[in-house]
Amino acid sequence: MNIRRMTDLDLSGKRVFIRADLNVPQDERGAITDDTRIRASLPGIEFALKAGARVMVTSHLGRPKEGEFRPEDSLAPIAERLAALLGRPVAVRRDWIDAGEVAPAPGEVVLLENCRCNKGEKKNDDALARKMAALCDVYVNDAFGTAHRAEATTHGIAKFAPVACAGPLMAEEVSALTRALAQPKRPLVAIVAGSKVSTKLTILQALAGKVDRLIVGGGIANTFMAAAGLPIGKSLAELDLVEDARKVMAMLRAKGGEVPIPVDVVVAKSFAPDAPATEKAASAVAADDMILDIGPKTAAMLGELLQSAGTIVWNGPVGVFEFDAFSGGTRAIAAAIARSPAFSLAGGGDTIAAINKFGIAGDVDYISTAGGAFLEFLEGKELPALAILQQRAA
């Protein structure tokens, strides 16, 4: 892939704008529960600082509403962790679009507040992108996690900045995934789970064409259970997408690999860490139940399937693993991946948190910081943030 790399450029005295992916999981009080993405962004930031650049870093965090700023949207906790890891102060700039110069002194770094609070970010608005491009001499995209989205900080700014290049994390992710997925050892088994049901379900059809077996979990499995005619009570699901789920099921059936539908589940009456957990047959879910995990029989069945895989791709926890009573399914899947002789790749903010929680990081062959982008890359789709960097290098 022909892309300019930040590490090949002379950055001394330059205003360098780094779009990083610092979207880490946080608990209800905003405390960071897994800082893998911050650590993964350090090499790019440190390289620019050492080179004597005037470094500006931004990222999205959570799901803010554009044009609004709530305290929980703030990158302040990220700045604090970043400062501790870098061993130097990291200030946060709240208003950075219309405030004039925001670049700090050479060799210093500033964090530009949550970019998804800016109006026009998601729509990739040209006017916003031009304003951001005017803040820098060099634009660096080091956020592989958002490479599948064309937004103002991932795409528009790259059109207008004097120079646009990839940071070291982006460059490394692309080359590692290209190597691993060019000719995967078969059968290729994908686990797609978690809570971003509509985003992930829409890419499942394309993914179904690439993989030999597909395992669903979390809100996606609930949608598949509904598609299979099972009761799902009040569970997280996307009932509009039941038809899409059926298509995916038919595609895999045609390849000789049914999508396994959970046979047992763990349910609760409310979504809370201390909600009493009940194991049930999948057919016995009540109208006021929420499915928060797969049951032990399902976990064992999926674990067996993973033992015969050649390559495993994992994105998304299969249950609410943050709550101990609903963490058994994800723990079992993690253990099965660790045990399997298959080459394993995993990605996604919460997936990484689960990998760390269950202590299997050393047993996964490649861990990507990305979730959605990782799945779309596997799907073989052109990622807009990479495409624009290629155009700018031509």
Length of the chain: 394
- Reply yes or no: is the peptide bond before residue 187 cis, omega within 30 of 0: yes
- Please choose which of Mg ion, ligand ADP, none residue 329 contacts, taking the beta carbon within 5 to 8 angstroms, the exact cut-off set by kind: none
Residue 4 is among the residues annotated as catalytic for this protein: no
Q: How far is the CB of 196 from ligand ADP (least distance, A)?
A: 4
- Choice between 47 and 321, CB closer to Mg ion: 321
Residue 21 interacts with Mg ion (CB under 5 A): yes or no: no
Binding site for ligand ADP (CB under 6 A): 194-196, 218-219, 222, 236, 291-292, 315-317, 319-320, 322, 348-351, 371
Radius of gyration of the chain (CA): 21
What's the CA gap between 378 and 286, in Å, rounded? 37
For Mg ion, what does the binding mask look like between residues 299 and 338, x meaning CB under 5 A?
----------------------------------------
Torsion sign across C-alpha atoms 70, 72, 78, 79: positive
Binding residues for Mg ion, rule CB under 5 A, total: 2
- Choice between 168 and 219, CB closer to ligand ADP: 219
Contact residue for Mg ion among 35, 173, 350, 379 (CB under 5 A): 350
Catalytic residue among 19, 196, 200, 213: 196
- Please choose which of ligand ADP, Mg ion, none residue 236 contacts, taking the beta carbon within 5 to 8 angstroms, the exact cut-off set by kind: ligand ADP
- Choice between 289 and 350, CB closer to Mg ion: 350
Backbone angles phi, psi at 49, to 5 degrees: -65, -45
Return the structure tokens found at 232: 């799902």
Catalytic residue among 44, 316, 328, 349: 349
Residue 349 interacts with Mg ion (CB under 5 A): yes or no: yes
- Choice between 295 and 319, CB closer to ligand ADP: 319
Catalytic residue among 37, 149, 213, 331: 37
- Classify burial at 10, counting beta carbons within 10 Å of its beta carbon; exposed 0-12, middle 13-18, buried 19 or more: exposed
Local structure of 65: helix, strand or coil:
coil
Q: Which residues, 6+ apart, have CB-to-CB distance to 228 below 8 Å?
A: 249, 261
One-letter amino acid for residue 129 of the chain? A
Residue 196 is among the residues annotated as catalytic for this protein: yes
What's the CA gap between 218 and 95, in Å, rounded? 38
Q: How far is the CB of 206 from ligand ADP (least distance, A)?
A: 17
Residue 372 is among the residues annotated as catalytic for this protein: yes
- Choice between 350 and 379, CB closer to ligand ADP: 350
Backbone angles phi, psi at 228, to 5 degrees: -85, 5
Instruction: Say how many CA atoms lie within 13 Å of 217 toward its Cβ.
Output: 33
| Residues recognised as catalytic | 37, 196, 349, 372
